[in-house]
Amino acid sequence: NAGVTQTPKFQVLKTGQSMTLQCAQDMNHNSMYWYRQDPGMGLRLIYYSASEGTTDKGEVPNGYNVSRLNKREFSLRLESAAPSQTSVYFCASSEFRGLGYTFGSGTRLTVV
């Protein structure tokens, strides 16, 4: 099993460009999450999907949108990238909300 797969692994964007980060899990998990990780800030929740068909804002949602395409896939979109969005982004999934997270390998995004 692949677990949680994120693409791309690395990306450089210019300010104002848009992009979508893809995440897919093959564990039949109900809940999926997007986090960003910045030095000294830990892991901060951007958006989450408690179950297929639902999405909700986390701690730092501004500048992002998400889509829960189906039970397996949860994408994160940056409509107009800003340098403040330079970060490492992790997707995660869990069978039940809040419990037993499995993380993807991360996307290192640089906005110049």
Partner 1 sequence: GENVEQHPSTLSVQEGDSAVIKCTYSDSASNYFPWYKQELGKRPQLIIDIRSNVGEKKDQRIAVTLNKTAKHFSLHITETQPEDSAVYFCAVYGGSQGNLIFGKGTKLSVKP
What residues line the site for partner 1 (CB under 8 A)? 33, 40-45, 48, 50, 58, 90, 97-106
Rounded to a whole number of angstroms, the minimum distance from the CB of residue 15 to partner 1 is 26
**Nearest CA to 75 among 13, 33, 27?**
33
Cβ-based nearer residue to partner 1, 54 or 80: 54
Asked if residue 48 lies in contact with residue 58, where contact means CB atoms within 8 angstroms, the answer is yes
Cβ-based nearer residue to partner 1, 58 or 63: 58
Rounded to a whole number of angstroms, the minimum distance from the CB of residue 80 to partner 1 is 26
Cβ-based nearer residue to partner 1, 33 or 74: 33
